[in-house]
């Protein structure tokens, strides 16, 4: 097992987090100066902060791009199951987002409301296609590639953690971690990054369409952008319990679909005592630095909310 690959992957994740913490402060004034529409900021930022570092990473490490990113074909049955999984995952996301909104505001809802003036197809490209490509290449490609010989559960936990930290938003923390965990499983099982790209695109695409339809009505627009602040207390409690039940059911279905994918792709994960004993150390210094940066980011966010 190559401990160096894990260290490089974690270091790459740490550098992305540092870039996301610092670069927007420098980039946004430039984008504002050139009068680039706000809805396209996310595209430019992801290209600069995700694609460019990835190119540098491969230039320095000399790792094979195709093998590292798992640019392999995916079967039709697997793709269909993954699309269904992306649809089924929506209630899970809604519940986890609802839980975190008790502490953190719904910034995604606020951002989506700003995209109301552009066509739906443009929204889908910005919200679904761009992240599905660039975020998957970096997290499920480069970072997960460093965990090639690591137990699937540990690899999924670590990439889920980095995925959550890179979003730098308390409201998105829970569901991005869970999605990152699931996406890692999809890539490992199918041996193709296109599996997580398809699922990511499906999830974000559905969110974009829901937002677009909700914004057609002024009252819905206000409610969507404000999150749970617009919901009466009794309805909020009932809604939370309702989505909890639906989320539990959907988790069970997702687990069944993952088992189906394992069977279709003949995936085998050897989990014996010797392998666990000899597993490489994955909690190295870049992970600890990343956690410190993320915790500071969340503390600053909480202070700004409740000042």
Specify the pLDDT at position 55. 96
What integer pLDDT is reported at residue 178 of this predicted model? 97
- Residue 271: predicted pLDDT: 53
Q: Report pLDDT for 62.
A: 94
Residue 243 is predicted with a pLDDT of 93
Burial track 46-61 (b if 16+ CB lie within 10 A, e otherwise): beebbeebbeebbeeb
Q: What is the pLDDT of residue 273?
A: 46
The per-residue pLDDT for 2 is 63
Spans in the chain with pLDDT lower than 50? 218-219, 222, 224-225, 272-279
Alpha-carbon distance 80 to 161, whole Å?
27
The CA distances from residue 34 to 12, 24, 50, 127, in Å, are 30, 15, 21, 22
Residues 114, 39: contact at Cβ < 8 Å? yes
Mean pLDDT over each residue of the chain, to the nearest integer: 88
């Amino acid at each position: 097992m190559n401990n160096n690959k894990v260290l490089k992957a974690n270091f790459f994740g740490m550098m992305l987090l540092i870039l996301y913490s610092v670069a927007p402060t420098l980039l946004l004034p430039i984008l504002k100066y050139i009068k680039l529409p706000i809805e396209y900021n996310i595209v430019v930022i992801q290209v600069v902060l995700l694609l460019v570092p990835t190119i540098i990473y491969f230039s320095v490490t000399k790792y094979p791009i195709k093998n590292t990113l798992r640019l392999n074909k995916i079967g039709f049955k697997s793709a269909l199951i993954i699309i269904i999984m992306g649809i089924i995952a929506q209630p899970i996301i809604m519940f986890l987002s609802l839980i975190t909104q008790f502490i953190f505001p719904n910034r995604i809802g606020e951002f989506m409301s700003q995209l109301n003036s552009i066509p739906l197809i443009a929204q889908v490209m910005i919200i679904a296609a761009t992240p599905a490509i660039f975020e998957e290449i970096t997290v499920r490609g480069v970072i997960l590639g460093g965990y090639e010989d690591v137990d699937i559960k540990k690899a999924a936990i670590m990439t889920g953690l980095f995925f959550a930290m890179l979003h730098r938003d308390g409201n998105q923390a829970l569901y991005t971690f869970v999605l990152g965990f699931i996406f890692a499983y999809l890539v490992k099982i199918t041996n193709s990054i296109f599996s997580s790209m398809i699922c990511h695109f499906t999830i974000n695409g559905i969110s974009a369409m829901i937002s677009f339809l909700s914004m057609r009505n002024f009252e819905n627009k206000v409610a969507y952008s404000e999150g749970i602040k617009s919901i009466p207390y009794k309805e909020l409690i009932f809604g939370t319990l309702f989505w909890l039940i639906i989320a539990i059911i959907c988790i069970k279905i997702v687990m069944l679909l993952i088992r189906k994918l394992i069977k279709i792709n003949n995936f085998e994960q050897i989990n014996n005592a010797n392998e666990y004993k000899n597993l490489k150390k994955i909690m190295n210094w870049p992970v600890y630095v990343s956690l410190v940066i993320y915790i500071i980011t969340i503390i600053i966010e909480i202070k700004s909310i409740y000042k």
